[in-house]
Structure 1
Amino acid sequence: MYESVFHKQKQFFQTKDTLAIPTRIKALKQLKDAIKLHEDDIFSAMRADYNKNESDAFLTEIGIIYSEINFHIENLKDWAAPVDVKTPVTHFGAKSTIYKEPFGVTLIISPWNYPFNLAMAPLVGALSAGNTAILKPSEHTPNVSSTISRIIASAFPEKYVTTIEGGIETNQQLLDLPFDYIFYTGSSQVGKIVMEAASKHLTPVTLELGGKSPSIVMKDANLKLAAKRIVWGKFMNAGQTCVATDYVYADNRIKDQLVKHLKHYTHKFYNKEFESEDYMQIINDRHFKRVHGYIEGDIAYGGRSHKSKRMIEPTIIQNADFSHPAMKEEIFGPVLPVLGFDDLEKAMIDIRDMPDPLALYVFTEDRSAARHIIENIPFGGGAVNDTMFHLATPHLPFGGRGHSGMGKYHGRYSFDTFTHEKSILHQTTLFDIPLRYPNYRKFQKLLKYIWK
């Protein structure tokens, strides 16, 4: 069904019209101008799909894309330039160069939790690198997806960039096509399906998934600041953030005190929003039922819900353990279990026994302790004495490992993800060293000396 669109993009890419740096910069500027023109439409769509307010929408969805586009425009010329690298003495007379080339026709499948941001951010990388792109936005945010389609159609011809809306069947049909690169953001379960489909065509993939991302709070942490930053990162977007704190693992000596601060800031930041029914909605009834089912045990704060509004009050569950229902899978909602540990090494083993998380946060004033945790627990990325803010710098790669994904993007890393590095050896014709030819046995001692 979508073969014609794919072949249009394939033919257009083969014209090489996307390769010139001025063309790429023009495309990025066109995208930015189209987004600006439709800002109000984006705000309205997000309010309609899941009650996201304008301030949060700009901060987490639109503004960050403007910043990403600006960063690419500023640096693209340098990133795309061929790079000369060292050449070993065994290749005397030659010159080694890495050339940058786009993959070709790319597929970007984006999720519903940040439906605009997580569609546009990889698109910026695809355009910056000189590719064409087909976007498949989430069917769970139909108003945002429709707005994305209008933005893309106003900025690009179908042969360059286009949007295809639809559900699971649409995904399946698109994945049957021999794309040159696939970028997927979403659940680990669907990520496996994407990877399996890509393997049929040996298509490279980036998988941005999720997992149970912990915040470890040590006894020497600034507890007020730790609670404030955990609460902000956790309950933003109604907890529907892949790098939000999924659970807190706190030293038992300060756990109760930490819970008091968590309760304070949760009430301060989100009580009015929930009471006025202006808090973010859970995306659909199925997820509402799933997340609501985690609310049991020793509830320190929250626990209320508005089923008709798909709204769950930010909820803190104290004295939880690994047998609690909320610890069985990624929560992806406004429920925060707080667990306690007596021994850090045992706590680290507990975390390592679970699938690799996408993020990990450490709250401590002890730099050596923070480094010990960072170096001994596998995870995608994170922060010390903060949560989620590592996403906002274009100088750090963002991505998971293992169960939480593969590949990386943001800033320069988005360009690199959608770029093939072509290695070329420029050999001299001024002379010809005989060591390489069948009479190399005469030079065996010399070769051993050089290579040892």
Structure 2
Amino acid sequence: MSFQDSDKTTSTESAFDAPAASRLVMELRGAFATGKTRSYDWRVTQLKALEKLLADHEPEIIDALRKDLAKPPLETVAYEIAMLKNSSKVALKELKHWISPEKVKTSLATFPSSAEIVSEPLGVVLVISAWNYPFLLSLDPVIGAIAAGNAVVLKPSEIAPATSSLMAKLLGDYMDNSCIRVVEGAVDETSALLEQKWDKIFYTGNGRVARVVMAAAAKHLTPVVLELGGKSPVVVDSNINLKVATRRIIAGKWGCNNGQACISPDYVITTKEYAPKLVDALKTELEKFYGKNPLESEDLSRIVNSNHFNRLKKLLDDDKVSGKIVHGGKKDEIKLKISPTLLLDVPRDSLIMSEEIFGPLLPILTVDKLEESFVVINSGPKPLAAYIFTNNKKLKELFVRNISAGGVVVNDTTLHLAVHTLPFGGVGESGVGAYHGKFSFDAFSHKKAVLYRSFIGDASVRYPPYTSTKQRLLKALIGGGILGVLSPTCSNLPPKC
């Protein structure tokens, strides 16, 4: 989840310290200065190379994620490889349009003139990625950075060592290494990178480390995108197709890396009356999906390492919630597996409700009226995602209007991630900035304002000596009210004027 959560399972072959990081940045700035990354052809070549990388090495990618997370092949293919291919496909299809200047209107104050917005690359950018979806969360931002014409350094997570090593090798083999580089390592290497001046830093991980990243960026006034997380709620109404709803909750929770995903449902809110039906339905579908002994299921990822296993165990062992388990709760410390676990009527002041769970535990809170769920959600930090299952049109509208979250999905979970025309990002403590599709291109671009004028139409009203007439004219022109120029004259004429 962060470089400071590392078990230091990987390291660079030779010491990568601040001087080495400085040399790397200087090399990339030199390459960027040649203008090669700005060309349309270079961007297309690199995006196509990335597509070929994914197509040529799908088995190795699946194997690496099996080693790091015991991730089911279907999840790797669908949620990492296929989504990356789609991101690259969209960028290639839309790139000419994205890089074309956008014509905009001008005002009377600048007449005659024309204007446009030019998207230009920022320069040399740093992408620090996460371990839970290590290929997707590393290369999706890189696609945006390349499409925008930047030189890029990628720092993959050391907590997924097999994937990090494979990614470094493949990007070294397929990409233009004069402009695109990978730095492996742990805390020391990441710290060395953060000491440097970048033109943008894109970080995916947790809020604690995001503060470290933001503080380092502030020293150089470097802009950041922070893709974080939070406690993403699921509100469940009673007037729904319960079977479909429970399957979609399970798919978003345990079907997404066994809950180790930033947009996984973190907790459920439903009414006291409806809670027993919801719990029974979840139990039934969980058994259908993962069998009577889910610890043996090949369709559930394991917990990434012993640190995170012990963190989740601590949440379950809390005196306030240990008696609230209504399903699951089984643990295998050797295999780092925890079965899908439901907890009913968990106290809101318990440890499990005070931090992002990021694992296979799902607390269910109950309220008398579903509208009370809004108060519960809004009493905490703004989440990365919020979900509601209901057929009540008014409730849908109230949820969308009143719940502030990075994204909202009605009658499903997590799928907004796959819609490239929607921005993906947080709000407040769940993140800064957004990406996906054109939003990725924009995240790594500067929108340069350009105004064109000729030498005709040079109005003396701009120049000294200043007079009351010039003041009146400029006030009207800049304020957008040319009729105001005539007002002193009209005041002496009949009312029709």
With normalisation by structure 1, the TM-score equals: 0.97
Contact 1:5 1:158 in 2 (8 A): no
Structure 1 residues 367 and 440 mapped into 2: Cα distance closer, same or farther (>3 Å)? farther
Please state if 1:398 is matched with 2:417: no
Residue of structure 2 equivalent to 1:368? 394
In the alignment, the residues of structure 2 paired with residue 154 and residue 272 of structure 1 have an alpha-carbon distance, to the nearest angstrom, of: 45
In the alignment, the residues of structure 1 paired with residue 59 and residue 466 of structure 2 have an alpha-carbon distance, to the nearest angstrom, of: 71
Deviations, residues 356-378 of structure 1 (Å, cap 9, x unaligned) = 10000011112221121111121
Q: 2:294 aligns with which of 274, 277, 280?
A: 274
Structure 1 residues 117 and 266 mapped into 2: Cα distance closer, same or farther (>3 Å)? same
* Matching of residues 426-441 of structure 1 within 5 Å: 426-441=452-467
In the alignment, the residues of structure 2 paired with residue 266 and residue 324 of structure 1 have an alpha-carbon distance, to the nearest angstrom, of: 25
* Matching of residues 130-209 of structure 1 within 5 Å: 130-209=149-228
Give the CA RMSD over aligned residues.
1.4
Moved more, 205-214 or 314-323: 314-323
Q: 1:287 aligns with which of 291, 302, 308?
A: 308
Contact 1:251 1:341 in 2 (8 A): yes
Amino acid at match of 2:439: Y
Q: 2:244 aligns with which of 222, 225, 235?
A: 225
Residue of structure 2 equivalent to 1:240? 260
In the alignment, the residues of structure 1 paired with residue 269 and residue 287 of structure 2 have an alpha-carbon distance, to the nearest angstrom, of: 21
In the alignment, the residues of structure 2 paired with residue 272 and residue 414 of structure 1 have an alpha-carbon distance, to the nearest angstrom, of: 42
Q: 2:141 aligns with which of 106, 122, 141?
A: 122
Q: Highest Rg: 1 or 2?
A: 2
Q: 1:90 aligns with which of 109, 116, 127?
A: 109
Unpaired runs of 5+ residues, structure 2, are 1-19, 317-321, 482-497
Moved more, 109-118 or 369-378: 369-378
Contact 1:84 1:96 in 2 (8 A): yes
Moved more, 239-248 or 2-11: 2-11
In the alignment, the residues of structure 2 paired with residue 70 and residue 297 of structure 1 have an alpha-carbon distance, to the nearest angstrom, of: 50
Deviations, residues 248-302 of structure 1 (Å, cap 9, x unaligned) = 0112232211111111111111236724352311011011011122222322211
Moved more, 264-273 or 241-250: 264-273
Counterpart secondary structure, 1:308: coil
Superposed displacement of residue 31, structure 1:
1.1
Contact 1:5 1:159 in 2 (8 A): no
Superposed displacement of residue 344, structure 1:
3.8
Deviations, residues 204-255 of structure 1 (Å, cap 9, x unaligned) = 1100000000001123233222211111101121100000000001122322
Residue of structure 2 equivalent to 1:261? 281
Please state if 1:447 is matched with 2:467: no
In the alignment, the residues of structure 1 paired with residue 370 and residue 345 of structure 2 have an alpha-carbon distance, to the nearest angstrom, of: 17
Deviations, residues 171-201 of structure 1 (Å, cap 9, x unaligned) = 1100001111110000000001000000111
In the alignment, the residues of structure 2 paired with residue 252 and residue 281 of structure 1 have an alpha-carbon distance, to the nearest angstrom, of: 32
Amino acid at match of 2:281: H
Contact 2:295 2:332 in 1 (8 A): no
Please state if 1:58 is matched with 2:82: no
In the alignment, the residues of structure 2 paired with residue 62 and residue 439 of structure 1 have an alpha-carbon distance, to the nearest angstrom, of: 67
Please state if 1:75 is matched with 2:94: yes
In the alignment, the residues of structure 1 paired with residue 328 and residue 58 of structure 2 have an alpha-carbon distance, to the nearest angstrom, of: 34
Superposed displacement of residue 431, structure 1:
2.1
Counterpart secondary structure, 1:373: helix
Deviations, residues 24-81 of structure 1 (Å, cap 9, x unaligned) = 1111001111222221111111111111121111111111000110010000000110
In the alignment, the residues of structure 2 paired with residue 171 and residue 257 of structure 1 have an alpha-carbon distance, to the nearest angstrom, of: 48
Superposed displacement of residue 322, structure 1:
0.7
Moved more, 126-135 or 37-46: 37-46
In the alignment, the residues of structure 2 paired with residue 89 and residue 344 of structure 1 have an alpha-carbon distance, to the nearest angstrom, of: 53
Contact 2:46 2:176 in 1 (8 A): no
Counterpart secondary structure, 1:360: strand
Contact 2:111 2:457 in 1 (8 A): no
In the alignment, the residues of structure 1 paired with residue 275 and residue 363 of structure 2 have an alpha-carbon distance, to the nearest angstrom, of: 12
Q: 2:68 aligns with which of 38, 49, 52?
A: 49
Contact 1:101 1:129 in 2 (8 A): yes
Amino acid at match of 1:274: P
Contact 1:315 1:335 in 2 (8 A): yes
Deviations, residues 381-436 of structure 1 (Å, cap 9, x unaligned) = 02000000000111111000110001000011101101111001112212202232
In the alignment, the residues of structure 1 paired with residue 182 and residue 70 of structure 2 have an alpha-carbon distance, to the nearest angstrom, of: 24
Deviations, residues 130-159 of structure 1 (Å, cap 9, x unaligned) = 001110000101000000001100112332
Superposed displacement of residue 440, structure 1:
4.6
Q: 1:22 aligns with which of 41, 52, 55?
A: 41
In the alignment, the residues of structure 2 paired with residue 364 and residue 346 of structure 1 have an alpha-carbon distance, to the nearest angstrom, of: 15
Contact 2:252 2:413 in 1 (8 A): yes
Q: 2:409 aligns with which of 383, 399, 412?
A: 383
Please state if 1:111 is matched with 2:130: yes
Counterpart secondary structure, 2:281: helix
Amino acid at match of 2:180: V
Moved more, 267-276 or 352-361: 267-276
Moved more, 78-87 or 256-265: 256-265
Percent identical = 39
Residue of structure 2 equivalent to 1:322? 348
Superposed displacement of residue 92, structure 1:
1.1
Amino acid at match of 1:267: E
Contact 2:290 2:297 in 1 (8 A): no
Q: 1:301 aligns with which of 294, 313, 327?
A: 327
In the alignment, the residues of structure 2 paired with residue 251 and residue 271 of structure 1 have an alpha-carbon distance, to the nearest angstrom, of: 28
Contact 1:263 1:300 in 2 (8 A): no
Amino acid at match of 2:96: K
With normalisation by structure 2, the TM-score equals: 0.89
In the alignment, the residues of structure 1 paired with residue 89 and residue 66 of structure 2 have an alpha-carbon distance, to the nearest angstrom, of: 27
Structure 1 residues 348 and 440 mapped into 2: Cα distance closer, same or farther (>3 Å)? farther
Counterpart secondary structure, 2:424: coil
Contact 1:434 1:440 in 2 (8 A): no
Contact 1:233 1:244 in 2 (8 A): yes
Structure 1 residues 273 and 115 mapped into 2: Cα distance closer, same or farther (>3 Å)? farther
